[in-house]
Amino acid sequence: QVKAQLEEKEGKTFDVFTAVEFRSQVVAGTNYFIKVHVGNDEFMHLRVFKSLPHTNKPLSLHSYQSSKTQHDELAFF
């Protein structure tokens, strides 16, 4: 659901976009930290926010980190 948001921010499209690991953090909603394989040996870490159900808002890409590898630890950021 956030692929298009990331592609817009990066100014490119990703042929491969596969989540391989995630963590979550409960706040006034939920932050999801997701390691995504974007092709070749490239990975990105995404921070996606899911608001509380009663707000009826879509998932939003809060921030991301590029130039990650498969072995980089997925940490809160």
Rounded Cα–Cα distance for residues 20 and 49 (Å): 18
Mean pLDDT by 10 residues, the chain (77 residues): 92 93 92 94 94 90 92 89
Q: What pLDDT score was predicted for residue 50?
A: 94
Q: What pLDDT score was predicted for residue 5?
A: 93
Please state the pTM of the whole predicted model.
0.84
Rounded Cα–Cα distance for residues 69 and 45 (Å): 10
Give long-range contacts, CB 8 A cutoff, 24+ apart: 17-23.
20/70, 21/74, 22/74, 23/74, 23/76
Q: What pLDDT score was predicted for residue 49?
A: 95
Q: What pLDDT score was predicted for residue 2?
A: 93
From the list 70, 67, 69, 71, the residue with the least C-alpha distance to 10 is 67
